[in-house]
A = this chain, B = another copy of it.
């Protein structure tokens, strides 16, 4: 079976979508039984439960040197008890080196076909991955399904499509025929897209597939063998993806070590050993800025990072303050503010904001946000599911510290009950008012459900601060509310200079946290929040080198 032929129309449509940037999704985001099968949810949950306390035996990497695993569920605060095969760094690198010379010789068509086939296999396991994601990241069920399943698969397909397009951008051979007057010089020329070498993709604890698969699939489609080094706290979701890639590889008589899983534990991390290894040429990373900047500084590597940022919301004027407050409250509460796109700094003029019904004071608007957060988290049909849980205990400490900041605490964090998981680690958002002069407080990421209401002189002041934060400390998203077209353009221009995408005037069921595959470039790469973007041309072209050979026609 030719997998390229099988998936050619998907690849073609995906490339088209890349350029149109209108809505496109190859994998439906709703866990509808009609789409995924009547028993798919129950089956996925059963599979997930069966994996607990057992060895993860699906990988095709031979001769494990140990079995390790330290995952815990933020819902139960109990270990998952899943053990993964472990290998020495030397073993992993040697296998990747050998796999490199296999994989680089597979045609772009076949690579793309194999990779899309692997996504089809992953699709059949979206529900299992959803439960694995819930119980490692602490996400609510719906986000866990969407982000780790269809949205991640779309991001992976986007990387495949983009890489495939770039590999096909120039001819593999041509006749160069130069008129010299009385004769022509004729050269046969050929171009090879040479993959750079071993690719290391380092995962994070909050989005273990969504943030990992773009690098994995971009490196693979361009011919590089991949080592996936997951966060020790969130292995299972991506382990399932790697297992399915390995299945398709072996079915096609290819070395499964073309994509390896390299698990480690908190007390013996192997990330630096892998990253610094001279044979590792490509590194993808999602995580904290200190480690990301260290990776960016490594010599002789091509490094793609998504680090941390300070996301701003600029509030100038609104049509309907209640709708705005509702939207922002949801953005902040969604997965307890643990998204890299969640808002943190809310810039509100001291004189308040203009609305269609007159002026609203700073305090009145602040109170509206408080009320909307309370309304959301105290709604038993929404609160626990929107909040999810806190992935990392350190976040709880940070929340407690935020309440001690010098400024009015508009809303304290508290816990609510999750009816299904009595022991779930839950913290609702904390909201603190900070003066615009206290830059030292709001010029860093306060990861988690922590928001600062910053009182500014006016909207120009708000814009200047938002731009400064983005330029110097990074920003992945920005929200802005204004009914004035000239203010809108000023924000659009100033934030563009800070390489920060702006969501204007969002109300209703769409939030600044959300970035859609095939349309939104996630992280621009142009400010300190990261040097790469999912998936722009740079994200794939830097993974291989064009090399051209030539020879006179007559010489053959």
Residue numbers of A with Cβ under 8 A of B are 19-23, 166, 169-171, 174-180, 185, 187, 189, 191-192, 194, 196, 319, 492, 495-497, 499-510, 516, 519-521, 524-526, 533, 536-538, 541-542, 545-552, 555
Contact = CB atoms under 8 A, between A and B. Distances in A.
Contacts of A23: 176-179
Q: For the complex formed by this chain, how many copies does it contain in all?
A: 2
A482 to B, nearest CB: 10
Contacts of A187: 510
Nearest to A100: B497
A542 B552 contact: no
A505 B550 CA distance: 9
A174 B504 contact: no
9 contacts: A19-B171, A176-B516, A185-B509, A505-B551, A524-B545, A536-B541, A538-B538, A538-B542, A541-B541
A189 B499 contact: no
Nearest to A299: B297
A382 B424 CA distance: 85
A537 B169 CA distance: 10
Contact of A537 (B22, B166, B501): B166
Contacts of A177: 22-23
Contacts of A506: 551-552, 555
A466 to B, nearest CB: 14
A20 B524 contact: no
Given A19-B170, A169-B19, A178-B23, A501 B536 contact: no
Contacts of A537: 166, 169, 537, 541
A507 B194 contact: no
A176 B503 CA distance: 13
A545 B525 contact: yes
Contacts of A170: 19, 21
Contacts of A19: 169-171
B21 A549 contact: no
Contact of A496 (B174, B500, B547): B547
Contacts of A178: 23, 516
A21 B538 contact: no
Of the listed residues A21, A194, A548, A552, the one surrounded by the most CB atoms of chain B closer than 10 A to its CB is: A548
B180 A496 contact: no
A506 B188 CA distance: 11
B505 A552 contact: yes
Nearest to A173: B21
A505 to B, nearest CB: 4
A552 B510 contact: yes
Contacts of A180: 509
A492 B549 contact: yes
Nearest to A542: B538
B546 A521 contact: yes
Nearest to A539: B541
A516 B185 CA distance: 12
Given A536-B541, A537-B169, A555-B319, A549 B501 contact: yes
B547 A500 contact: yes
Given A170-B21, A177-B23, A497-B194, A533 B546 contact: yes
Contacts of A196: 526
B174 A21 contact: yes
B499 A550 contact: no
B496 A192 contact: yes
Contacts of A171: 19-21
Contact of A548 (B179, B191, B510, B521): B521
B547 A501 contact: yes
A8 B196 CA distance: 36
A504 B550 contact: yes
A551 B21 CA distance: 15
A467 B167 CA distance: 24
A19 B172 CA distance: 11
A336 B549 CA distance: 25
Given A496-B194, A516-B176, A502 B21 contact: no
A353 to B, nearest CB: 16
A540 to B, nearest CB: 9
Given A21-B171, A501-B548, A526-B545, 19 more contacts: A19-B171, A21-B174, A21-B189, A21-B191, A22-B174, A23-B177, A23-B178, A23-B179, A185-B510, A189-B519, A194-B496, A194-B499, A495-B547, A504-B549, A504-B555, A506-B551, A521-B547, A524-B547, A538-B541
